Amino acid sequence: MNGRHCWWERGIIYQVYPRSFADSDGDGVGDLAGVIGKLDYLAWLGVDAVWLSPIYPSPMADFGYDISCYTDVDPLFGTLEDFDRLVEEAHRRGIRVILDYVPNHTSDLHPWFVESRSSRENPKRDWYIWADPKPDGSPPNNWLSSFGGSAWEFDGKTGQYYHHAYLKEQPDLNWRNPEVREAMLGVLRFWLERGVDGFRVDALRRLVKDERLRDDPPNPDYREGQNPYDALIPLYSSDRPETHEMVRMMREVLDGYGERLLIGELYLPIESLIAYYGSGVDLPFNFHLIFTPWRADAVYSLVKEYEAALPPGAWPNWVLGNHDRPRVASRVGEGQARLAAMLLLTLRGTPTLYYGDEIGMHDVPIPPGRIQDPFGKSFPQLGRDPARTPMQWDDSENAGFTAGEPWLPLAEDYEEVNVARQRKDPRSLLNLYRRLIALRRSEGALSTGDYSSLGIDGDLLYYAREHEGRRLLVVLNLGSDVQSTPARGRIVLSTGLDREGEEVSGRLTLAGGEGVILRSSG
């Protein structure tokens, strides 16, 4: 890197799920004008980029991940003019804008697919993945949909099956077709011309499938009660070698517009994940913290393995929550949520925050009659709605999110857990996030410095960050009991406020769930 770091290496990304962030027109669904109205909040918090989940025209079978037009904004969220204003206003505040890019599949109502399914002879037939039935009329192979059942849907009119990795309303594009590649790379150019600073590529590992349509092998570790998709190892339906060639094409497009960020959504083992650095993904999203047990030994082992696996020059990244997984406060508990914030914002690499985690929002139980998530309707225990509920801005009706009926129920505790209340409380989780972000921004050791693992001691996890001779020691108690360890230095930030400025001259004692950052003196 020659001592120079890109903006996204120094920065912090904040994910906005637009449906749930802020509603400006009272229809109960968040929109772009709502996001614009909250940019001052994001600037106050100190984040460097806002990543928007899909805002494109869509029938909303999967809430925007089923796209019917890639080069417009769904009226539910506003207009292209609203988007342009969002980019302008964000840039004015020093905030970059990252868009979701969904290249694997379209809506079944996209004009491309309407043409493709109209006849076997249609010029766009090969824009999607079509295959003949087996002799008995069954699907071409055993590939599974992430949303349950076969990944093949029979089209009676043309007598073939089409492939869909997700809902049947989300047919997969055929990226082996050069016309598809050029059309989808044109989508990137369209948004780059409008000032977008980067893309998060949805379902990247699914982009190319086995040309011979071979069956996926059974998963010997699968157990009854798990997600049915995990019954097979997606050897032929996912993470194919040709995917990297497609990534290189995306990279080439982005490189024509200066310093633009390419993020890959990649739920993969570490050894497969890091391969995407080589093809041009700046941040192959590292979701492993979401699935790692909240124990010092497990987190220590994960960080050690990940850091050791990174190729030379590759920049790490960490994610603790997103729109598809249970919220961090629900996974680790309220008492440890402060510690999770300190971990995320002091590890080496770019952190991504999920809206609401900074105030400790938790998963909200959704009554059966209010379930919106199509996956949740099929598998209620695995539904994603609980982590997508409206942002809790204040203690007014509907938490200040909307003047109408919110599209999902609000948390019962929103009158206590909200932005307005926590902004006034110096001890709040929100202000802890803000102080951590400010310290990260001011300290090269935390933003771009080296990482040194110092090991574990019982429930204590500790590591050092160092830059140009300045060394910070991070000590986190992931347990519930009091722990102590040898340490020397001055505490510059703690998960509370009581200890900041305290000199530690031999032994550091931490309560359960407590963490500190020390300016090390030995």
Hey, what are 134's tokens? 């087996």
Q: Does residue 316 carry a pLDDT above 90?
A: yes
Cα separation, 133 vs 12, whole angstroms:
48
Average pLDDT score over residue span 327-351: 97
Name 442's Cβ contacts closer than 8 Å, sequence gap at least 6. none
Confidence (pLDDT) at 195: 98
Question: How do residues 118-145 score in pLDDT, each as one tens digit?
Answer: 999 999 999 999 999 999 999 999 999 9
Report residue 520's pLDDT band, with 50, 70 and 90 as the boundaries: confident
Confidence (pLDDT) at 2: 40
Instruction: Find the range with the poorest average confidence among 56-65, 179-188, 203-212, 370-379.
Output: 370-379
Cα separation, 265 vs 456, whole angstroms:
30
Q: Are 255 and 235 in contact (CB under 8 A)?
A: no
The two beta strands, 515-520 and 470-477, are antiparallel
Catalytic residue positions, numbered: 202, 265
Question: How do residues 211-267 score in pLDDT, each as one tens digit?
Answer: 999 999 999 999 988 889 999 999 999 999 999 999 999 999 999 999 999 999 999
Q: Are 424 and 333 in contact (CB under 8 A)?
A: no
Average pLDDT score over residue span 374-393: 92
Q: Is 43 exposed, middle or buried (0-12, 13-18, 19+ CB in 10 A)?
A: middle
Report residue 521's pLDDT band, with 50, 70 and 90 as the boundaries: low
Average pLDDT score over residue span 33-42: 98
Question: How do residues 457-478 score in pLDDT, each as one tens digit?
Answer: 999 999 999 999 999 999 999 9
- Give helix then strand counts, H and E, for the chain: 17, 17
Distances (CA, A) of 224 to 165, 215, 229, 325, 383: 22, 21, 11, 21, 18
Name 135's Cβ contacts closer than 8 Å, sequence gap at least 6. none
Average pLDDT score over residue span 296-304: 97
DSSP letter for 211, please.
T
Please measure the distance between the N-terminal and C-terminal CA atoms of the chain and give it in whole angstroms.
29
Confidence (pLDDT) at 358: 98
Q: Does domain 7-101+178-208+238-436 have CATH number 3.20.20.80?
A: yes
Q: Which residue do the tokens 């994910």 mark?
A: 15
Q: Are 410 and 399 in contact (CB under 8 A)?
A: yes
Instruction: For 412-428, give one letter per residue: b (16+ CB within 10 A) or e.
Output: eebeebbbebbbeeeeb
Hey, what are 96's tokens? 């970059």
Q: Which residue do the tokens 């140009």 mark?
A: 468
* pTM exceeding 0.85: yes
Confidence (pLDDT) at 1: 38
What is the number of other CB atoms lying within 10 angstroms of the CB of residue 509? 12
Q: Is 225 exposed, middle or buried (0-12, 13-18, 19+ CB in 10 A)?
A: exposed
Distances (CA, A) of 425 to 41, 71, 236, 393, 406: 16, 43, 52, 14, 27
Average pLDDT score over residue span 104-116: 98
Confidence (pLDDT) at 381: 84
Domain borders along the chain are: 7-101+178-208+238-436, 448-520
Same fold, 7-101+178-208+238-436 and 448-520: no
Q: Are 302 and 461 in contact (CB under 8 A)?
A: no
Cα separation, 172 vs 119, whole angstroms:
17
Confidence (pLDDT) at 314: 96
Report residue 351's pLDDT band, with 50, 70 and 90 as the boundaries: very high
Distances (CA, A) of 407 to 29, 337, 384, 415: 6, 27, 14, 19
Q: Does residue 382 carry a pLDDT above 90?
A: no
Q: Which fold has domain 448-520?
A: Immunoglobulin-like (2.60.40)
The DSSP bridge partners found for residue 319 are: 352
Distances (CA, A) of 148 to 166, 194, 366, 520: 8, 37, 21, 52
Q: Are 170 and 202 in contact (CB under 8 A)?
A: no
DSSP string of 179-225, one letter each residue: HHHHHHHHHHHHHHHTT--EEEETTGGGSS--TT-PPPPB-TT--TT
Percent of residues, the chain, with pLDDT higher than 70: 99
Q: Are 437 and 517 in contact (CB under 8 A)?
A: no
Q: Which residue do the tokens 């999770």 mark?
A: 340
Q: Does residue 3 carry a pLDDT above 70?
A: no
